[in-house]
Structure 1
Amino acid sequence: MKFHFKRVAAGVCILFLTVTAFTIHKDIPTELPATALFPYGRCLINKEHNLELISSAVHFGFSFEGKDCQVVASIANTQDRNYLQYELDGVYQKRIKVSKNSHVPLVISAGEDGKHIVWIYKATEAHTGAIIIEKIIGQSVKAIKPKSAPLIEFIGNSITCGAAADTSEVPCGTGEYHDQHNAYYAYGPRVARELKTNFILSSVSGIGIYRNWNSDAPVMPQVYEKADFQESSSAMWDFKLYTPRIVSIALGTNDFSNGDGLKKRLPFDSGIFVSSYIQFVQLVKSKYPVAQIALLSSAMVNGSNRILLQNCLLAVQKNIDELYPADKKVAVFFFEPMQATGCGGHPSVAEHAILAEELIPFFRKLLKG
């Protein structure tokens, strides 16, 4: 990476997550440093030469031989816990908690000898904090480059993050907000896997175009250029690292929100929403001039607000097409209404599958264009 956070790494507690007991091999394991990995998504190499996973579902792959391998991971002392999740030989396994002050080895066991492939994903979002990867240990361990394929960047809010979707371990109403995050099973990665594309998630819970769920700022246009989506961060994201074929933008749910019902909330302003959205699309186009822009509505916005949001997106589409007549026309997709059953009115893992099924024909058509 071309930049580093000014993040103090001293006091970071290194830990090894355990999936099963480690089998000691006769062959001497090799170590693959984080700097040799090929991560995909928002991340950075810090001053300790470790890999910091930032955005939702940022991922990397490696192969190893034998039955087991180890991943050396850590979180900052300011965090209590965070989550990884992984795929082994093409099959999703589970989320793994990364806790501070834990020194338990993370061992990924394949159960049988042979060559195996692992993909590690960050289950949570940027605002949950970075997960730091130091190295991979195993027999004949080698980094895997992501496949050569079109890229879709999914910009959005908590829905795009896969927030509050997975209650398999921590029920709704208990634990912390990120305890139910599952970015791997969010609609974007599902669409990408089905269509065999690469993907990046650029998403923040509670965020909107001109106002957030329960605050006026910072909104997505203010944080999109920051590497970790934090307005106060000095680290800027390097948009030259990736060239998306399609940039999907799914914002508006939080702009329509009534918030917590306690803080004063003005009525939704369609004029400000449309003008702010147009400016944000222009910002995205300045980063990716040849990308196809796709605007998604929200399955969580229903009733008269659903129609209003759709009309706003059509107004954005019309204005952008007029401003950039030589570019690809903006595509718009309207979700079917959904009464979500995940935590806090978010889609569950199963409901993300429904959202993805709706989107797959839409994105397949765009990829052919």
Structure 2
Amino acid sequence: EGKSPKEPFTPETENCDLAWGCIIARYFDADYTLIAHSGQGIVRNWGIREERSEITMRERVARTFDMEETPLWDFAQYRPDIVVIKLGTNDFSTGMPSREQFDASFGEMYALLRRRYGDVPILYVVPQNCDAYYDYLRATIRTLGDPNLHAVPHLAPINDQTDDLGAGYHPNLRGQCKMAAAVIPYIATLAGWPMPQDRPIR
């Protein structure tokens, strides 16, 4: 909810209800479970120079309260029609992780989701400026031979660098709506949901 890219990034202007995932859920009138944590990656977290962080979203996805190791999330209570993952921006804050580190980290999260949710479609949305992850994922998908594992890139030009940005150069509502619009057709296809033509993306 920040008004300018030059504002400092603070929790006061973070609002997950205005982020692209929740916008997509509203568009489809779908229930959702949101797992989000500022600064977290899949291999390593924001500003970390080690090859791999000890705790990232690959661990937090299994928790009920992501800062606490217990209780673990009861996956049996809720089986989604689709799982959507978007991780990578924070991983690249100190350089590009290796293919080996990505495969290991993604493999852990993928195995957990498959073990808990079965054969639901998994869509990995590769963030802007993390193009290498798209190449990594396509190779991983070929290796795994999983027809219900998919990857799509959020290309860098999707957001402009003025009106689409809020605090700390993070996308504002306008930018988030553009990001949602780019992913909606893929989710409609993979989940088998209709795509309402008269419903706003907001």
Category of TM-score, reference length = shorter chain: 0.7 to 0.9
Residue 341, structure 1, aligned to residue 165, structure 2: yes
Is the 1:184–1:190 Cα contact (8 Å) retained in structure 2? yes
Of the three residues 309, 314, 330, the one matched with 2:149 is 330
Q: Distance in 1 between matches of 2:78 and 2:72?
A: 14
Q: Distance in 2 between matches of 1:367 and 1:177?
A: 35
Is the 1:278–1:319 Cα contact (8 Å) retained in structure 2? no
Of the three residues 174, 180, 202, the one matched with 1:350 is 174
Quote the RMSD (CA, aligned, Å). Answer: 2.1
TM-score, length-normalised on structure 1?
0.46
Task: State the match for 2:125 in structure 1.
Answer: 296
Deviation at 1:315, TM superposition (A): 2.0
Task: State the match for 2:70 in structure 1.
Answer: 234
Q: Report Cα offsets for 1:338-359 as digits up to 9, x if no partner.
A: 4462222211111000001111
The letter for the 2-side match of 1:211 is R
Is the 2:120–2:148 Cα contact (8 Å) retained in structure 1? no
Residue 203, structure 1, aligned to residue 27, structure 2: no
Task: State the match for 2:22 in structure 1.
Answer: 189
* Local SS of the residue matching 1:291: coil
- Write out aligned runs for 1:1-369 (5 A): 166-167=1-2, 172-173=7-8, 177-215=10-48, 216-230=53-67, 232-258=68-94, 268-299=97-128, 301=129, 305-306=130-131, 308-321=132-145, 324=146, 328-337=147-156, 338=159, 339=161, 341-368=165-192
Deviation at 1:269, TM superposition (A): 1.5
Percent identity over the alignment? Answer: 25
Q: Distance in 1 between matches of 2:98 and 2:153?
A: 20
TM-score, length-normalised on structure 2?
0.81
The letter for the 1-side match of 2:150 is A
The letter for the 1-side match of 2:81 is R
Is the 2:123–2:152 Cα contact (8 Å) retained in structure 1? yes
Aligned residues: 182
- More helix by percentage: 2
Is the 2:23–2:180 Cα contact (8 Å) retained in structure 1? yes
Q: Distance in 2 between matches of 1:319 and 1:363?
A: 23
Deviation at 1:212, TM superposition (A): 0.7
The letter for the 1-side match of 2:172 is S
Query: 1:320/1:204 Cα in 2 relative to 1: closer, same or farther (>3 Å)?
Result: farther
Q: Distance in 1 between matches of 2:83 and 2:72?
A: 19
Q: Report Cα offsets for 1:219-278 as digits up to 9, x if no partner.
A: 112222121112x432211111211010011111111112xxxxxxx7522221122212
Q: Distance in 1 between matches of 2:97 and 2:37?
A: 20
Q: Distance in 2 between matches of 1:271 and 1:233?
A: 26
Higher relative contact order (CA 8 A, sep 6+): 2
- More strand by percentage: 1
User: Based on CA coordinates, which of the two structures has the bigger radius of gyration?
Assistant: 1
Is the 2:86–2:126 Cα contact (8 Å) retained in structure 1? yes
Query: 1:267/1:358 Cα in 2 relative to 1: closer, same or farther (>3 Å)?
Result: closer
Is the 1:207–1:213 Cα contact (8 Å) retained in structure 2? yes
Is the 1:278–1:320 Cα contact (8 Å) retained in structure 2? no
Structure 1 stretches of at least 4 aligned residues deviating more than 3 Å after TM superposition: none
Is the 1:278–1:316 Cα contact (8 Å) retained in structure 2? no
Q: Distance in 2 between matches of 1:288 and 1:241?
A: 11
Could you list the runs of 5+ residues in structure 1 that have no partner in the other structure?
Answer: 1-165, 259-265
Q: Report Cα offsets for 1:154-178 as digits up to 9, x if no partner.
A: xxxxxxxxxxxx026xx822xx721
The letter for the 2-side match of 1:199 is Y
Deviation at 1:360, TM superposition (A): 1.1
* Local SS of the residue matching 2:33: strand
